[in-house]
Amino acid sequence: MSQSPNPFETAQGYSPPSVTQFSVFLDNRVGKLRTLLQAFDERPYCRLHAITVHEASDHAVVRLITSNAEDAILTLREADFPFSETEVLVVEITGDHTIATMCACLVAAELNIQFVYPLLGMANRGPSVALAVDDPTLAGQILRRKCYELLGESDLAMD
């Protein structure tokens, strides 16, 4: 005798909150980063919450997290910057929930951490990091079970 499916289960299961990260490709020339950042300064409803720069001899990749992904896309397109989008987890690091314990939880589940970097201070929030892993759904489930706070784009929106 087969059991009927639970009507409250979703077809896709748990999906952790995530945030859009933009990887912007810049020629490695004086002033290009300033031009990129100035484009965001001109958008009052699209605040930068994180930035990291990976430089090579002829180009740089700038990773950005903003408070408004749709506005960031418009900003990047209007300024003619080539970019790609990736969903990342944003994890609040407070109290006993350190970066080291977060990593230990993920390594115990054999999850590969692709990169991690800090977010700028946010009102009413503790320190947070952007985290890219090979399985964000599983990572989100594990971190939630370990009582880490996961943030979505609405948590980054300006007050």
Q: Which residues of 126-135 are buried (b: 16+ CB within 10 A; e: fewer)?
A: eebbbbbbee
What is the pTM for the complete model shown? 0.83
Hey, which residues does 88 pair with through a beta bridge?
19
Instruction: Return residue ranges of the chain for CATH 3.30.2130.10.
Output: 19-86, 87-156
Task: Say what the pLDDT of residue 84 is.
Answer: 96
Q: Which amino acid is located at 136 in the chain?
A: P
Overall fold of domain 87-156? VC0802-like (3.30.2130)
**Percent of the chain having pLDDT more than 90?**
62
Architecture per CATH, domain 19-86, reads as: 2-Layer Sandwich (3.30)
Whether the CB-CB separation of 59 and 25 falls below 8 Å is answered with yes
3-62 per-position pLDDT tens digit = 444 444 444 567 888 899 999 999 888 889 999 999 999 888 888 999 999 887 788 999
Could you give the C-alpha distances from 135 to 78, 80, 101, 103, 140, in angstroms and in order? 33, 31, 18, 14, 9
Residue 113 has pLDDT above 60, yes or no: yes
Number of separate helices (H) and strands (E) present in the chain: 5, 7
Task: Say what the pLDDT of residue 12 is.
Answer: 56
84-100 per-position pLDDT tens digit = 999 999 999 988 899 99
Task: Say what the pLDDT of residue 130 is.
Answer: 94
Residue 71 has pLDDT above 60, yes or no: yes
